[in-house]
Amino acid sequence: MSTPLETVSADTPLVTAAEKMREKNISALLVTTAPPSIVTSTDILEAVAQGMDTSQVAVADVMTESVETVPPNLQLREAAAMMENFRISHLPVATDDYIGMISSTDITAYLS
């Protein structure tokens, strides 16, 4: 799991979210909406491929809304199965608050 959890607001320009991901060397940010959402480097790449001006497009325009979350004590194989079933690469980790993000890269690194 990657900690601390990096977040962004839904009205943040997409280019700012991309800069934050590059600065932190991560590929996803939790979007502070209710329920929580997520924006990934793949979302940003898709926006660029569609010709969107990432300085004018907000995170809300490309984010995935209402994402699945997992508790910190979830077994690794269960998290991997959820990612496979939902065809996702990131899961926010939460108790009463969000504490981190587990990615398919985290799982691969742990297993190797």
The structure tokens listed for 47 are 């926006």
Query: How high is the pLDDT of residue 96?
Result: 81
Q: pLDDT: is 13 or 111 the higher one?
A: 13
| Model confidence pLDDT, tens digit, residues 27-72 | 999 998 888 899 999 999 999 999 999 889 999 999 999 888 899 9
Q: Is residue 48 part of a domain?
A: yes
Torsion on CA atoms 24, 42, 12, 91, rounded to nearest 10: -70
Residue 111 has pLDDT above 90, yes or no: no
Contacts of residue 100, defined as CB under 8 A and 6 or more positions apart, other chains included, come to 1, 2, 3, 4, 5, 72, 92, 93
**1 within domain boundaries:** no
Model pLDDT, residue 12 = 97
80 is in which domain, residue-wise? 7-111
Domain count, the chain: 1
High-pLDDT (> 70) share of the chain, %: 100
Q: What is the CATH number of the domain that holds 64?
A: 3.10.580.10
Between CA 61 and CA 40, with CA 7 as vertex, the angle to 5 degrees is: 50
